[in-house]
Structure 1
């Protein structure tokens, strides 16, 4: 006598009806026979990119590189608008909740192909910038650093996109997807631009920002799906979610420690430069009248006393006059370190304005000599500085930290 089975025995795939086999082949995620699996499968299908995704990524990457070259915010925003629907990132969140390794790798592969396209188009624009150097690099420099407003924009974009996808089975929210594309792909394009142009210090931070935004976006997408009622189906779902959270926590700790720590100068320079005093030099009266060079210069930490030539006694009734020359000590040179908070360095420009030509770019910690020239342009205070190799230019005063005392600093 046969006992009733406690659960239905699945049929081999080759014994299934043809319609059932075709349905299984069209499914993105494995079938578990419940409503949640069917809803996740629908979300996964809409997250699969087509050929237009990669073509649009190529066009958007070229526009982004041109925007960094010309330092045009309009072109940078246009590049984000040209990026197609960010389905691969949403697919990573769906695959995490479903615990599907196959769909996870498929979505990650699609996203990495688009990322390489943006990186290569950025390097192409960087080569062009070598022939015609850009006037300024405000847009590219902004994309290569992590900011909390960008993280908030990414969070809102991912949450709204998945919420709209869950609400309407046939909808691909393009507006909210623009926020995701702006924060994920543009840092890669800026990194490629800085790699080949040679004028963007700290370009490698663009790669770090891309990875940070990618992991944070997938974590936000996973938590959004859980909030919408999709429970994790497998142990792998919990493991992946915990891994995303640990990576985000570790990255946040590194960011806070690096940003709150003191900026140190390079090993070849002292932590603080001692005051340097130029020693006045004595002149004879005859040499002073003829405009000759000083007799000797003796370095000292304190000003030397002024030498006064005593009149020599003669047999005449009127003594010979010997003039006395009194020298005023030169002002103490002021040195300062490059200290651009929220960035890796700063530009020294030929004129005291943001659109002036770039003389040189210097990383944080490098020491420059602060000259006497100070001017205010459009509410921004600019000071003239001289680098160690003798180059002079203008820099925003807030980007400097003095290493020697200076009045008003």
Structure 2
């Protein structure tokens, strides 16, 4: 009696016979059920988070925080280059497509831990490095805004990273992962670290903007990764997989569309106060009338002739001309208005706000502070380099 020979599928695709290896490479995904399961398990193993992912997330978050503090785009690119491989994002997309709840939850938990470490680095950096200088917030404000150019980079990097992870079967192919993954890490970690930086120094409206941009980028990267995997031939192994994949995809689309529909975020104005035009009053000199005593009435006598007494005209006493200045700062949030030099912030002054200089200057730690008064009569202190003195031209009074 002849028994059919049982064929075993090696765990490592490199151990397959040459003919089967060439057949697997020609296909986007193996067609045999066992081969598909082994292939999906191999891809899931490459995309699972490891200890290096958590360590590099913390290192990348710290470098991105320094880049935000220095306002240096080069340091920000360095932080993204040292970020870990964004494999957990693709692993979440893979769990969504194949319908594996265990893979989905495990990858999601790993991604949350890695993102939490990057957010923690930004939060600590914002609390210890930032000293109230609004000029260094330029890069932070830029990356807390939704940009179509950033979204285009995110879409391309998510698709290329997904395709590279699927075909990264050797060390040479794994090197290709670094290029799209750096761009994907730049679009995910930078707004997240910006949110932590804003929360660490309690900068209003900066940290919620960064979190919304991060959530929007993450949802779209997972959705685009899932679409790429579906195009490459990945399908759910069970009927439950279609239900899980459809539910997760639907939630991702609703979340992405809901966040993108917020007009304040698209306009990069989430949480920012609505700018109102400031009326600039015209300085006029108010004359002060001085009372002149009325001379006594002359008494007529037969021998005297009445003589007219000249009456002096009123004297105009002009009030001192106040010294005016305007706020000159290109920051969307304006500049801080403090109760004392370097003290507690009592408000923000928008660019172009008209102020009255009170001729009182204090220098603390190399920073000159100017005491000013708003048109509403509120007095406070502002950094002297952020105000520009103007010359008021009084109107002629007839």
Q: TM-score, normalised by structure 1?
A: 0.64
Could you tell me which residue of structure 1 aligns to residue 164 of structure 2? Answer: 164
Whether the aligned pair in 2 keeps the contact of 1:47 and 1:91 (CA below 8 Å) is: yes
Q: Structure 2 CA distance, aligned partners of 1:169 and 1:205?
A: 39
Could you tell me which residue of structure 2 aligns to residue 253 of structure 1? Answer: 261
Q: Structure 2 CA distance, aligned partners of 1:50 and 1:83?
A: 13
Out of 239, 245, 256, the residue aligned to residue 247 of structure 2 is 239
Could you tell me which residue of structure 1 aligns to residue 39 of structure 2? Answer: 39
Q: Structure 2 CA distance, aligned partners of 1:143 and 1:324?
A: 61
Does the C-alpha gap of structure 1 residues 205 and 231 become closer, same or farther in structure 2, counting only changes over 3 Å? Answer: same
Could you tell me which residue of structure 1 aligns to residue 111 of structure 2? Answer: 111
Could you tell me which residue of structure 1 aligns to residue 183 of structure 2? Answer: 179
Does the C-alpha gap of structure 1 residues 245 and 127 become closer, same or farther in structure 2, counting only changes over 3 Å? Answer: same
Out of 302, 308, 313, the residue aligned to residue 322 of structure 1 is 313
Could you tell me which residue of structure 2 aligns to residue 65 of structure 1? Answer: 65
Could you tell me which residue of structure 2 aligns to residue 284 of structure 1? Answer: 289
Deviation at 1:104, TM superposition (A): 0.5
2:184 is the alignment partner of 1:197: no
Q: Structure 2 CA distance, aligned partners of 1:184 and 1:265?
A: 26
Instruction: Give ranges in structure 1 of 5+ residues lacking alignment.
Output: 1-16, 24-30, 288-308, 351-356, 374-383, 398-409
Whether the aligned pair in 2 keeps the contact of 1:71 and 1:134 (CA below 8 Å) is: no
Deviation at 1:387, TM superposition (A): 7.9
2:350 is the alignment partner of 1:346: no
Does the C-alpha gap of structure 1 residues 362 and 178 become closer, same or farther in structure 2, counting only changes over 3 Å? Answer: farther
Does the C-alpha gap of structure 1 residues 87 and 262 become closer, same or farther in structure 2, counting only changes over 3 Å? Answer: closer
Deviation at 1:53, TM superposition (A): 1.6
Could you tell me which residue of structure 1 aligns to residue 354 of structure 2? Answer: 370
2:149 is the alignment partner of 1:149: yes
Could you say which structure has the larger radius of gyration? 2
Could you tell me which residue of structure 1 aligns to residue 90 of structure 2? Answer: 90
Specify the SS of the correspondent of 1:150.
helix
Does the C-alpha gap of structure 1 residues 277 and 68 become closer, same or farther in structure 2, counting only changes over 3 Å? Answer: closer
* The 10-residue stretch of structure 1 (210-219 or 227-236) with the greater mean CA deviation from structure 2: 227-236
Does the C-alpha gap of structure 1 residues 220 and 258 become closer, same or farther in structure 2, counting only changes over 3 Å? Answer: closer
2:130 is the alignment partner of 1:139: no
Whether the aligned pair in 1 keeps the contact of 2:326 and 2:354 (CA below 8 Å) is: yes
Whether the aligned pair in 1 keeps the contact of 2:90 and 2:162 (CA below 8 Å) is: yes
Q: Structure 2 CA distance, aligned partners of 1:361 and 1:176?
A: 45
Deviation at 1:273, TM superposition (A): 8.0
* The 10-residue stretch of structure 1 (195-204 or 173-182) with the greater mean CA deviation from structure 2: 195-204
Could you tell me which residue of structure 2 aligns to residue 403 of structure 1? Answer: none
Q: Structure 1 CA distance, aligned partners of 2:375 and 2:345?
A: 9
Whether the aligned pair in 1 keeps the contact of 2:278 and 2:353 (CA below 8 Å) is: no
Q: Structure 1 CA distance, aligned partners of 2:294 and 2:286?
A: 17
Q: Structure 2 CA distance, aligned partners of 1:262 and 1:244?
A: 21
| Superposition CA RMSD, Å | 4.8
Aligned residues between the structures? 325
Could you tell me which residue of structure 1 aligns to residue 229 of structure 2? Answer: 225
Deviation at 1:192, TM superposition (A): 1.4
Q: Structure 2 CA distance, aligned partners of 1:77 and 1:44?
A: 28
Give CA-to-partner distance per residue, 1:352-383, whole Å, 9 cap, x none: xxxxx9x979679x79843599xxxxxxxxxx
Q: Structure 2 CA distance, aligned partners of 1:79 and 1:212?
A: 21
Does the C-alpha gap of structure 1 residues 256 and 227 become closer, same or farther in structure 2, counting only changes over 3 Å? Answer: farther
Whether the aligned pair in 2 keeps the contact of 1:71 and 1:139 (CA below 8 Å) is: yes
Does the C-alpha gap of structure 1 residues 385 and 77 become closer, same or farther in structure 2, counting only changes over 3 Å? Answer: farther
Could you tell me which residue of structure 2 aligns to residue 400 of structure 1? Answer: none
